Amino acid sequence: MLFFPNVKINIGLNILTRRDDGFHDIETLMIPVGLCDSLEFIKAKEFSFSSSGIVLDVNSDNNLCTKAYELLKKIYQLPAISMHLHKAIPTGAGLGGGSADAAFLLKNLNNYFKLNITDKDLKDHAATLGSDCPFFIENKPSLAYGRGEILESFDVDLTKYKIIIAHPGIHVNTAWAYKNSIPNSNRRKLKSLLGSNHITNWRNIITNDFEIVVFSVYPEIKELKDKMYNLGAVYSSMTGSGSAVYGIFEENEVDYTQHFSCFVWQGKIK
């Protein structure tokens, strides 16, 4: 069974409070975008995992795909599978690629083996693998709260725009970024800001709290955001805790990829 897990971008990311469990309460809007990995599995005599493309920074036992399979195997007595991941999504980029791979695998194992797991239960399983994972179960624009696992559908129409994603090859440690951030819950809710403002106004009011600390240490990431605006983006931001930066552009025939010397992808909302 072959499928194509896609990335997400964060439009706004407010860090609200530090929690007693070591996590943070946030609010953000997550949007699925068409940059994808490819993941395939078949029945096999024994479990195996292999990968190609971008080199993974964890061994197969610690890969989220392996953990997702082992999670369902333990509960539903799955047979062995052979799995291959072709990695095209940059890792450590704030794009949720690993989370997407795991969540898509949960969904497709459910369908292939007819496990009849509800979306709610799939989200609960996904949440044990990572904060971003539940989003990819329904894979539609959603406001995310809590540590990112509490989701609320949100209607946003970006079909008239295209997305440019640039990744400078820098791995930003998420735990470090959270540790050095300053939570602030005393501000207007992101849902209200998004609901009452056109995308052309987002530049001045929709922010990613991670940018302050990340840009201070990695100015080349800020340079990517500046370049997006210089090229005519109507809105640009770092996604997640970085280091990927995206720009939202009016739909046109211009190929913006030639302006970047790092990894760059150009496409549409998923």
Count of residues in the chain: 270
Residue 259's φ and ψ, nearest 5 degrees, are: -90, 0
What CATH code is assigned to 161-267? 3.30.70.890
Kindly give the pairing relationship between strand 38-43 and strand 48-53.
unpaired
- Catalytic-labelled residue, pool 8, 87, 107, 227: 8
**Is 119 among the residues known to form the active site?**
no
Domain boundaries, the chain: 2-153, 161-267
pLDDT of 21: 87
pLDDT of 171: 92
pLDDT of 238: 98
Mean pLDDT by 10 residues, the chain (270 residues): 98 96 94 97 97 90 95 96 98 95 98 97 97 97 96 94 97 93 94 94 96 97 98 98 97 93 93
What tokens were used for 104? 């898509």
The fold adopted by the segment(s) 2-153 is Ribosomal Protein S5; domain 2 (3.30.230)
- Which residue, chain included where needed, has tokens 């036992």? 61
> Could you tell me if 255 and 264 are in contact, meaning their C-beta atoms sit under 8 angstroms apart?
no
pLDDT of 270: 80
**Is 8 among the residues known to form the active site?**
yes
> Could you tell me if 72 and 116 are in contact, meaning their C-beta atoms sit under 8 angstroms apart?
no
pLDDT of 50: 96
pLDDT of 126: 98
Separation between Cα atoms, residue 6 and residue 124, nearest integer Å: 20
What one-character DSSP code corresponds to residue 220? H
pLDDT of 249: 97
- Catalytic-labelled residue, pool 101, 132, 209, 227: 132
Cα dihedral value 19, 23, 25, 30, nearest 10? 180
What tokens were used for 32? 């699925």
Kindly give the pairing relationship between strand 24-36 and strand 6-18.
antiparallel
pLDDT of 58: 84
